[in-house]
Amino acid sequence: MQERGTFGRLGFVLAAAGSAIGLGNIWKFPYITYANEGGTFVLIYLVAIVAFGAPIMFAEILIGRNTTQSPVSAFSALSSSLQKSKAWVLTGWLGIAAGFVILSYYSVVAGWTIYYFGKCMTWSFNGFGPEQAANLGKDFGAFLGNGPLQILFHALFMGATMGVVILGVKGGIERSTKILMPVLFSILVLLCGTSIFTPGFGDAIGFLFHIGPLSADAILEAVGHAFFTLSLGMGAMITYGSYVSKKDSILKASFQVCLLDTVIAIMACVIMFSIIFSVPEAERATTFSKSATILFTTLPRMFYELPGGAILSPIFYLLVGFAALSSTISLMEVVVAYFIDEKGWARKKATLLVGGGIFLFGIPSALSLGASEFFSNAKILGDKSTGIFETMDYLASNWLLPVGGLLTALFVGWALPNAFTQAELEEGHGPFPYHAAWKFLLRFICPIGILCVIWNVA
Ligand code: PFF
């Protein structure tokens, strides 16, 4: 086995937050919240973060730090040393499948941020007026329909991810997130402050917090998104946990990651909905479709009205690209670490083969938002989703991650002895008086809650 690096103290929180904070917060959460009529959807999401997200995050990091292994090897090492069923290793396999599937379409959206960086540069130099604002939706549609461009930007993003993963944990992952995350956060704070002065701010807040009816499918989507946004249920946090030093507190780090992730997602919603609700109701439906496009069709309107917006807008899309990069790195690391730990491959070979495979697997997704009729209209799962992109997202976020989270909760809740989990959580933290309550959540609340949600939809 190759030598493993460890994260520095702040390095881990930033790297884990880097994995958690990404397109899930800034691109996906606002659009699924908009499509699901806000309020109740946000509430279910928040409940899922507290009831399932935080407890399962403790569990994943604990498994990783204790075994210093990636998910498949970690589940197999723990189940054999504690004489438990070998079948738990399936949880690790499921994670690798989820990482492969998620990265294949996530990289497509991440590629859009590079394209929008370029587009904003052009607007910043040539001017952005009412005509450009009115055409934002049409321009974006044309870009989605351009197959070669979709594949090109997907390829660029996969290339960038492979570049960082080849450098390894210390060199690549920790260094890049330490600088970029704080800058992204500052721009979001500035935009949020600006949104208070838009005419749509009040309606945006009302939309986010009103309570109304919600379908079973939407509840599954909110719960699935809680796993997606915290990078849980597929072993990313097990893999990152394997690089955490015994001197660090798992509990404190997890809490900080959950909090930062949630705050950023809500801020992104406030910003985008303030822009959407500032447009008169009659024009809203034609200006902003309730789909994957809103990150790219809303923000330029606000930026180019701000003093200094011409500088901020390209920087913003670049930083969203970096936030996506710190997530794609962790997705790829799960799959790559398996080949390094289990098959003894060199990091470079593992990264090149895994990255190449995921790139190819992602091409149908890249072409399924308008470029290819066939991929765009494919209904592999019947009415649940249309097009390959949507199908991959549906499968991974709504099924693979919640089931992975369920199995992890059962494993740590039931298979790992209390003395073992208590000692591991207290290492680097000091006494943890809520251990029994946490175990109760993992044993009963998480499994029953996740099963009920899945049951309702299946
Ligand atoms: N949490 C990331 C986001 O919200 O963008 C996406 C993600 C990264 C999901 C890593 C799962 C994962 F393992």
Specify the ligand 1 atom closest to the Cα of 334.
Answer: 13
User: Measured from the CB, is residue 228 less than 6 Å from ligand 1?
Assistant: yes
Distance of CA 269 to the CA centre of its chain: 15
Q: What is the pLDDT of residues 313-337, one digit of tens each?
A: 898 899 899 889 989 998 999 999 8
Say how many C-beta atoms besides its own lie within 10 A of residue 289's C-beta: 16
What is the mean predicted confidence (pLDDT) over 24-42?
93
User: Measured from the CB, is residue 298 less than 6 Å from ligand 1?
Assistant: no
Distance CA 433, CA 426 (A): 10
Q: What is the pLDDT of residues 423-454, one digit of tens each?
A: 999 998 999 999 999 999 999 999 998 998 88
Say how many C-beta atoms besides its own lie within 10 A of residue 418's C-beta: 10
Q: Encoding tokens for residue 225?
A: 């998104």
Q: Which amino acid is at 97?
A: A
What is the mean predicted confidence (pLDDT) over 135-155?
95
Q: Encoding tokens for residue 390?
A: 């949507």
User: Measured from the CB, is residue 231 less than 6 Å from ligand 1?
Assistant: yes
Q: Encoding tokens for residue 364?
A: 């149908």
Q: Which amino acid is at 273?
A: F
Distance CA 436, CA 425 (A): 12
Distance CA 359, CA 366 (A): 10
DSSP letter assigned to residue 304: T
DSSP E strands, 226-367: none
* Residue 22 pLDDT greater than 80, yes or no: yes
* Residue 307 pLDDT greater than 60, yes or no: yes
Evaluate whether 151 touches 372 at the Cβ level (below 8 Å): no
**Ligand 1 pocket: which of 103, 228, 240, 401 to mutate (most atoms within 8 A of CB):** 228
Evaluate whether 110 touches 419 at the Cβ level (below 8 Å): no
User: Measured from the CB, is residue 226 less than 6 Å from ligand 1?
Assistant: no
289 in a domain, yes or no? yes
Say how many C-beta atoms besides its own lie within 10 A of residue 9's C-beta: 14
Specify the ligand 1 atom closest to the Cα of 235.
Answer: 13
**Ligand 1 pocket: which of 49, 237, 331, 336 to mutate (most atoms within 8 A of CB):** 331
Task: Return the C-alpha torsion angle 132, 137, 142, 144, nearest 10.
Answer: 130
Q: Select the more confidently predicted residue: 176 or 267.
A: 267
Distance CA 89, CA 76 (A): 5
User: Measured from the CB, is residue 254 less than 6 Å from ligand 1?
Assistant: no
| Integer-rounded Cα radius of gyration of the chain | 21
Phi-psi region of 235 (alpha: psi -120 to 50; beta: other; left: phi over 0): left
User: Measured from the CB, is residue 79 less than 6 Å from ligand 1?
Assistant: no
3 in a domain, yes or no? no
Any idea which residue has 């890049």 for tokens?
Answer: 176
The number of folded domains in the chain is: 1
Most confident of the following: 161-170, 297-306, 317-326: 317-326
Phi-psi region of 85 (alpha: psi -120 to 50; beta: other; left: phi over 0): beta
User: Measured from the CB, is residue 313 less than 6 Å from ligand 1?
Assistant: no
Range of the domain at 259: 9-457
Q: How confident is the model at residue 24 (pLDDT cuts 50, 70, 90)?
A: very high
178 in a domain, yes or no? yes
* Residue 107 pLDDT greater than 90, yes or no: yes
1 in a domain, yes or no? no
Phi/psi of residue 213, nearest 5 degrees: -70, 155
What is the mean predicted confidence (pLDDT) over 163-188?
78
Overall pTM > 0.85: yes
* Residue 458 pLDDT greater than 80, yes or no: no
What percent of the chain clears pLDDT 70, i.e. is strictly above it?
A: 95
**Ligand 1 pocket: which of 184, 231, 392 to mutate (most atoms within 8 A of CB):** 231
Distance CA 375, CA 393 (A): 14
Residue of the nearest CA to atom 7 in ligand 1? 231
What is the mean predicted confidence (pLDDT) over 192-200?
91
pLDDT for residue 75: 95
Distance CA 144, CA 293 (A): 10
87 in a domain, yes or no? yes
User: Measured from the CB, is residue 331 less than 6 Å from ligand 1?
Assistant: yes
Say how many C-beta atoms besides its own lie within 10 A of residue 310's C-beta: 17
251 in a domain, yes or no? yes
4 in a domain, yes or no? no
Residues 6+ apart with CB under 8 A from 292: 27, 28, 31, 109, 369
Specify the ligand 1 atom closest to the Cα of 99.
Answer: 13
Q: CATH number, domain at 133?
A: 1.20.1740
86 in a domain, yes or no? yes
Q: Encoding tokens for residue 305?
A: 């009205």
Q: Which of 451, 448, 446 is nearest to 49 (CA)?
A: 446
User: Measured from the CB, is residue 265 less than 6 Å from ligand 1?
Assistant: no
Q: What is the pLDDT of residues 201-212, one digit of tens each?
A: 999 999 999 998
